[in-house]
Structure 1
């Protein structure tokens, strides 16, 4: 077997393993959610039938237990801590957080303007739809975005998955592949939408993922995209809360 053939096979194995890991992490989170539902149900507390509790417990189960806990377990068992590039943010890092947040938020509204001009409606997230019925959910998601969602998704998809892919595909290939995998797990959360709306929303999510992945590669510090991601999500939930309560 030639050296190139061996490298190609290794790259395919890495791609398959990273794909299974990316999808498996999300699946694990949902299994943990069901476990919590059963466990709390024994005590008379309904979870899945209550949108507010389902979202809170789901965030803890998926982003907390599966993404953060699963990532740390994977890195410990495989002893691949070198995949993770993280350190206390410097003044430059914090400046890039502010700049990155501003650019990402501006990009989202650029998508909105373009879609409106084209007559395209993005699919509504099931989380936001539930929040419109219960605005308190949107408020609770603001701190959860900063504490669990941003850090959890960045640790798992940028730190572990993208870091693993980088070894075989380089930074550009790793960012693009990890971003597609990240976008794919959001499909089940898009409710009552046409195929066009789903594609439009996935385009936004993929752009967000590529942006955060590139930011991670540029800064070499996972804290930066984690903060940008958390702040971005928190802002979206605050704006949705304003709409749900008539403030916007």
Structure 2
């Protein structure tokens, strides 16, 4: 999936005055006459010009057929002098900027709620819109647009396409891997007695079961797609322009897990433990994206994972207090 710079397009610069012979052939320095390429759209009267844009430097690695601005800000073809540190710094910066925008937007929603008394459902929907569509997906698309990608270029960069049956199978297998590994890790954590933190959204759902269906729908329509577009599509994708797959997945997953510190409650040790647990689902999301090269697949996997956990929470709070302990353990399982 790594974006490799395109090979330079070599052009024939051996022509003299650019004239063709009467029989439709082109003169050359070696005395032979070669048939003119009928697909050549150059102006036959353009004296000494290699193409409509003038002579091209054969050492320039940029592809003149690429619709993107060749002087864009860190184009997909990349600069030959760019170091991996630049890609890492850019990716980490984007990964941190998203939650900061979401935090500022959340403060704005809180103020609006205080003034207009929006109510729980309206406040939740507005928070999801600002914190996900604007802060995460908006940042990702805005960054790619800033680099010079048009709509089709953004779609191609992210890998947005309808998933195949194989892709859907990858979603199922990926979810089994995630739930198995996280449950195993959670059991070990409980056995050694390490504190964990709870997710704020999960706690809100436990206190207000009526909004759980909203969270389930949002898992597929909002949370999964928006977070994957930023952290897999752009953060991991930017890393893949300069790094191999494994370090790109690890770095992107570490950033994704770390930013959830802001969404957790409890002491610092509990938060760090929970972030470590969330790192494993993140690795699966990244591996699935690398394997399928389709952002829809990790988005579905992310949404499925969250939706299942929210469903378990809903069943827990609806069908008995005896499952409270299970619900409390479940709040640490999903990355929101």
Same fold (TM over 0.5): yes
How many correspondences in the alignment? 238
Match of 2:292 among 207, 219, 224: 219
SS of equivalent residue, structure 1 residue 205? helix
Single out whichever of 62-71 and 78-87 deviates more from structure 2. Answer: 78-87
- Pick the aligned partner of 1:208 from 242, 266, 281: 281
Alignment of 1:103-114 (within 5 A): 103-114=177-188
Separation in 2 of the partners of 1:7 and 1:203?
35
Measure how far apart 1:30 and its partner are.
2.2
SS of structure 1 residue aligned to 2:161: coil
Match for residue 58 of structure 1 among 104, 127, 138: 127
Residues 104, 208 of structure 1: 8 Å contact kept = yes
Query: Following TM superposition, by how much is the alpha carbon of 1:194 offset from its aligned partner in structure 2, in angstroms?
Result: 5.1
1:127 aligns with 2:201: yes
Which protein has greater RCO, CA pairs closer than 8 Å, 6+ apart?
A: 1
The yes-or-no answer on 1:74 pairing with 2:134 is no
Deviation at residue 39 of structure 1 after TM alignment? 4.5
Structure 2 unaligned regions, length at least 5: 1-78, 324-336
CA contact (8 A) 1:63 1:152 kept: yes
Provide closer, same or farther for how the CA distance between residues 26 and 94 of structure 1 changes in structure 2, counting only shifts above 3 A.
Answer: same
Correspondence for 2:48 = none
For 2:181 and 2:81, locate their aligned partners in 1 and report how far apart those are by CA, in whole Å. 36
User: Hey, what's the Cα distance between the residues in 1 that align with 2:162 and 2:233?
Assistant: 15
TM-fit CA distance, 1:102: 2.1
Residue number among 307, 316, 331 corresponding to 1:234 in the alignment: 307
Q: Contact 2:109/2:123 (CA < 8 Å) preserved in 1?
A: no
Distance 2:117 2:81 in 1: 51
SS of 2:83's partner is helix
Q: Which has the larger radius of gyration?
A: 2
**Which residue number corresponds to residue 3 of structure 1?**
none
- Work out whether residues 179 and 210 of structure 1, in 8 Å CA contact, stay in contact via their aligned partners in 2: yes
Tell me the alpha carbon deviations over residues 159-189 of structure 1, each in whole angstroms, 9 at most, x when there is no partner. 0010001112221111111111111211022
> Which has more helix, going by share of residues?
1
Range moving further from structure 2, 80-89 or 61-70: 80-89
Q: What TM-score do the two structures reach when normalised by structure 1?
A: 0.86
Whether 1:146 and 2:244 are equivalent positions in the alignment is no
Contact 1:216 1:222 in 2 (8 A): yes
Which structure 1 residue ranges, 4+ long, deviate > 6 Å from structure 2?
Answer: 6-9
